[in-house]
Chain A
Amino acid sequence: MRQMARVGITLALIASIAATSLAVVNAVTAPKIAAYEQQVIENALKQVSGGFELGESTTDTGDEAIGIIHRLTGDDQKTTGYILQMTGTGYGGSMTVMASYKTDGSVIDARLLANAETPGLGKKAEVPAYMDKFKDTGADSPVPVKKNMLQKDDADSIGGATVTFSGVARAIAHGSDYVKTLGGK
């Protein structure tokens, strides 16, 4: 019996010392991690904001595919547009797309955030320049959701990553439609 207790306690001791040290490390790193994650989102927001000020945000969007809405304001505090954080479906599953729109639904800029696309193929959509083909579409011209709606150079840049492209494009187009329903509120 004593032998058993000794065995149990030794293991318990080792385990709890391990846990304690983890807790200590966690205490050090956790704020850093939280700060970093905040930073990532803020950076992305700033990048796509098109020079407008960030207004308040809400998660109450009434649309499954749209996670968060940030309001964009100009100098006069009037709503000039929105940044939408949306979910799209790519080759490797769901991806997070962030896109900014003017109130008429035209795209200011967009970013592909979290995704599991194939490196070297769909993953190339993370590059900021990838989104150039969507800029200013959505109001006067439709968002290009098919490869053959693109210029030849743009189409070539997509190459074989059709699934990623259409996933991103559809998310952006959906956002554009959504923004139009907001009507500049």
Chain B
Amino acid sequence: MERLPTFSKGGVHPDDKKALSNNQAIQRLPVPSELVLPLSQHLGAPASPLKQKGDMVVAGEKIGKASSFISADVHCPVNGTITDLRKVVLANSVVTDAFVITPDASNPLGEWPEQPYDALSPEELLAIVKDMGVVGTGGATFPTHVKLSVPKGRTVDALVVNGVECEPYLTADHRLMLEETERVLRGIMIVAKITGPKRIIIGVENNKKDAIAMLRQEIARLGFPITVMALRVKYPQGDEKQLLKATIKREIPSGKLPLDVGAVVLNVGTSFAIYEAVAMRKPLIDRVVTISGEAMKEKKNLRVLLGSKVADLIAFAGGLDHEPDKFISGGPMMGFAFHDDQIPVIKGTSGILALDKEPSAKAPTTPCISCGRCVAACPMGLQPTKLYRLIEHRDYERAMAMNLMDCKECGCCSYSCPAHLPLVHGMKLGKRLGRK
């Protein structure tokens, strides 16, 4: 059997649970009765509000403006009225301002016809991407226009598209690659025009064989210079550092970006959003969200307007089968547990999961026995056990000296810890307190 490429150091193999939802075609969630649209849906500074309470808005209208270089615009998903501007708590515990919008009952949605874009220059394309508020949809929500701005003198060797979707349960990108193959590919070609890479690679984990086949077939049909690389299934391959290691065998040094090793990394969801932004001038106002988890009655992949409340999504999926142990926004490895079903879907929400307590998942914590599994699992070459101990003893300085900031909280260490120590929680705490 052919040995598929993957990244070399660390990683874990959680049960992917994708079969729960990967044959569910993407459905549209009906327009909910109320949308809550936070101004901070991305990494970086929150957008500043352009409207106020009582204003009428139309679908696609810019209602929040990027407030600095690393920031993104926010657009209104529907025609309707702004009924409130208030503080909300997002799933990741961030507190931010949000518009509460009541959609126009008769005609809530806008129309986005396709427009020609071949004549546009790379600069114009980039400007459109920025104007449409596109951010990375993989979860990190880094503003895409920043990522695509190649500084002068830098050349892009490889454009690597992330179709890995390594988080268990999530199937949103998978469905997108299957159902919107052509648009995803065209989105990639737009990015290629902006950044001018020497080669283009789509990395897809081998548990999505149908998507790989579909991509290859469409690429051949459209004649695009894109290679589809099937990757060995291993978490966290979807992280850009691991993905670059797996596809182009390069390691991004600590604190650097993909551009520093001559690469641009982009999610398939993002490239789809870029296609819509460029070809339809449609801002990022909806996204595909996976509804899954054992406690969910029906598992679905939904195209959801941003600002829809989690409660609406769950209701559309037939509600809960039984009381879940945890609600999670995002994937189970890096996603956030939340308790309030009134939180909204934002640009980075890739899934809403209702998980059952697995018998092994929550055994009581026991003392660390220095087994070294976390060290073996850490894809960044850190020593989570030692860092955790140092953080426990409030020695943040030494933890920092041991490269605590390299930790990206992928969860491999906690996942593999037989003592069930909350290692990632410790890393987050250490980073927060150590920075002070």
Chains A and B in contact, CB within 8 Å: no
**Which chain B residues have a beta carbon within 8 Å of chain A's beta carbons?**
none
